[in-house]
Structure 1
Amino acid sequence: MRLTGPLRAVVVLLLVGLTWLLASSLFGGESALSVRHFFSGTSAEPTPAEPRPRKYKCGLSAPCPAKHLAFRLVSGAANVIGPKICLEDKMLVSSVKNNVGRGLNIALVNGVTGELLDTQTFDMWAGDVSNLLKFLRPLHEGTLVFVASFDDPASKLNDESRRLFEELGSTAVKDLAFRDSWVFVGAKGIENKSPFEQRMKNSKSSNKYEGWPESLEMDGCIPLRPPLDH
C-alpha cells in the first residue's frame, strides 16, 4: 500500500527530527541541551554560576570600620619570593616595586592620617644592625610600624634592637631566630602588646621549604589615632 502525499511528508519530517535528536545527543553541546528541553517542555536557561566572594581593600574578606586602615602582610617565602606590605589597597613593599630585601622589610606610617612615611630594608644576615637602630630610635609617638621578614630576620639583632621592637608592642621578637618567618604591626607609644603579630619557627621537622618555614600571611584593620590637641 502506497503512502499518500501528506502522510509521506509527515513520516519524512519525523525521520528528520529523530535523526537530528540522535545526532545532537551523541555529539552533545548547547544544541543537544536545547533539543532535550524542547521535547521535555522545560526551559533551557543555564544554571547561574556561584557568585564569587567579594574582596575589599588589600583582599580582606570584610570592610574595615570607619577611621580604620585595612592592611595585609605577607612574609617572604624562603629566599625566593619577596614579602608584601599592603595598606588601604596600596602596595607599599613588594618585589614588583623592587623595594624588598633580605632581612627585615619595614614601612612607617603616620598613625593619625595613614600617610606612608618611609620604607626601608635591613639585612639581618650580613648587614649592620646600627642602621636599624638609627631607623627605630627617633620614631615619633603614634607612628605605625609594619614589618615583614625575608630569608633571615634575626642573626644581627642585638639586645637594643629587640627591646625597641618590644616597645612597639612585639612579644615574639625576643625569641626571633635564624630564618624564622615573622610579620608584625606595632606602634610607637603602644601601651599593651600588639594584637597583630605572627612568628613561624625555623625547624627541620616542620619546615615547608628546605631550610625555611612557610610564609606567613596576616591581615586586619588598625584604628587611626585621634589628632593630638595643641
Structure 2
Amino acid sequence: MRLAGPLRVLAVILTVGATWILASAILGTDGGIVLVRQLLSAPNDQPTPEPRPRRYKCGLPSPCPEKHFAFRIVSGAANVIGPKICLEDHILVSSVKNNVGRGLNIALVNGVTGELLDTKHFDMWAGDVGELLKFLRPLHEGTLVFAASYDDPSTKLNEEARRLFEELGSSAIRELAFRDSWVFVGAKGIDSKSPFEQRMKNSKLTNKYEGWPEALEMDGCVPQRPPEEA
C-alpha cells in the first residue's frame, strides 16, 4: 500500500511525457521529433566504423603500376634488430628467416620475373671482402640487387667493392662509413644512378642509439626489365 502513491506519481509523469512527445511530433516541434526518432531507433544502432585502409604488397600505401615490383627495405637497428627485405609481398631477408648477419645483407633478384636468385650477408667488420667481390663480379645484366646494412657495413669495403656498387647505381657508396645505416636497390647494367638509396651517417650528435644511427626504411616500385633486354 505504501507504494501506491509513488506509482501513481510515476504513471502521471509518464503519461504527461508521452502526451508532450506526441503533441510535439504532430505539431512539428523539433524537440519532440528528435526525441521520437531517438525512442524509435534501435538501441544497438552504432555509427558505421571507418573501413580499414587497404594493404598493398609489402605494406605500400598504394599499389605499384603494372610491370613494376613492390619492395620495402629496412636496415638493421644498431646491432640488435636485423634488417628486412620484402619483394612482392615475399620476405626475402629477415631475422625470422634466419638469413641475416652483421655487415651487408644482399638479395639478388631476376629483373624480368622477380624470382629470388640468392641471398647472402657479408661481415664488413671482421670478414673477408673477397667473398663480397666473388658474389658481385659475375652478376648478369638486369639482375636486381637489394642491400641493407646491419651494425657496420663498410670497414672492409675496398676500392673494387665500392666501384662495383657504383656500377649498380649507388651514389652514396663512396661516403658509406663505419656503422652508417644504408639501404639500396640497384641493377646490373643500369645506365644512371638509382633513385632507391638512403644513407644515415653515424654521428654522436644525431645517433638514435648509443653508437649507431637510426634504422632506415625505404619502399617503392622497381620497373620490371623487359624480357627482350635480359
Name the TM tier (shorter chain). Answer: 0.7 to 0.9
| Equivalent AA in structure 1 for residue 157 of structure 2 | L
Q: Which runs of structure 2 are paired with 1:38-53 in the superposition (5 Å)?
A: 41=39, 43=41, 44=43, 45-53=45-53
Q: Using the TM superposition, give the Cα deviation of residue 125 of structure 1 relative to its aligned residue in structure 2, in angstroms.
A: 0.3
Q: Using the TM superposition, give the Cα deviation of residue 46 of structure 1 relative to its aligned residue in structure 2, in angstroms.
A: 1.6
* Count of matched residue pairs: 207
Which residue matches 1:123?
123
Q: Using the TM superposition, give the Cα deviation of residue 74 of structure 1 relative to its aligned residue in structure 2, in angstroms.
A: 0.1
Measured in 1, the distance between the counterparts of 2:148 and 2:12 equals: 72
| Equivalent AA in structure 2 for residue 104 of structure 1 | L
Q: Which runs of structure 2 are paired with 1:23-62 in the superposition (5 Å)?
A: 41=39, 43=41, 44=43, 45-62=45-62
Q: Using the TM superposition, give the Cα deviation of residue 49 of structure 1 relative to its aligned residue in structure 2, in angstroms.
A: 2.8
Measured in 2, the distance between the counterparts of 1:57 and 1:212 equals: 30
Q: Which runs of structure 2 are paired with 1:141-156 in the superposition (5 Å)?
A: 141-156=141-156
Which residue matches 1:216?
216
Which residue matches 1:175?
175
Q: Using the TM superposition, give the Cα deviation of residue 41 of structure 1 relative to its aligned residue in structure 2, in angstroms.
A: 3.7
Measured in 1, the distance between the counterparts of 2:108 and 2:119 equals: 6
Q: Using the TM superposition, give the Cα deviation of residue 11 of structure 1 relative to its aligned residue in structure 2, in angstroms.
A: 3.5
Measured in 2, the distance between the counterparts of 1:38 and 1:209 equals: 61
Q: Using the TM superposition, give the Cα deviation of residue 89 of structure 1 relative to its aligned residue in structure 2, in angstroms.
A: 0.3
Q: 4+ residue runs of structure 1 moved beyond 3 angstroms?
A: 7-16, 37-44
Give unpaired runs (5+ residues) of structure 2. Answer: 15-34
Identity %: 73
Residue deviations 1:75-128 (CA, integer Å, cap 9, x gap): 000000000000000000000000000000000000011100000000000000
Across the aligned residues of Structure 1 and Structure 2, the Cα RMSD in angstroms comes to 2.5
Q: Using the TM superposition, give the Cα deviation of residue 194 of structure 1 relative to its aligned residue in structure 2, in angstroms.
A: 0.1
Give unpaired runs (5+ residues) of structure 1. Answer: 17-36
Which residue matches 1:24?
none
Measured in 2, the distance between the counterparts of 1:213 and 1:128 equals: 25
Q: Which runs of structure 2 are paired with 1:17-166 in the superposition (5 Å)?
A: 41=39, 43=41, 44=43, 45-166=45-166
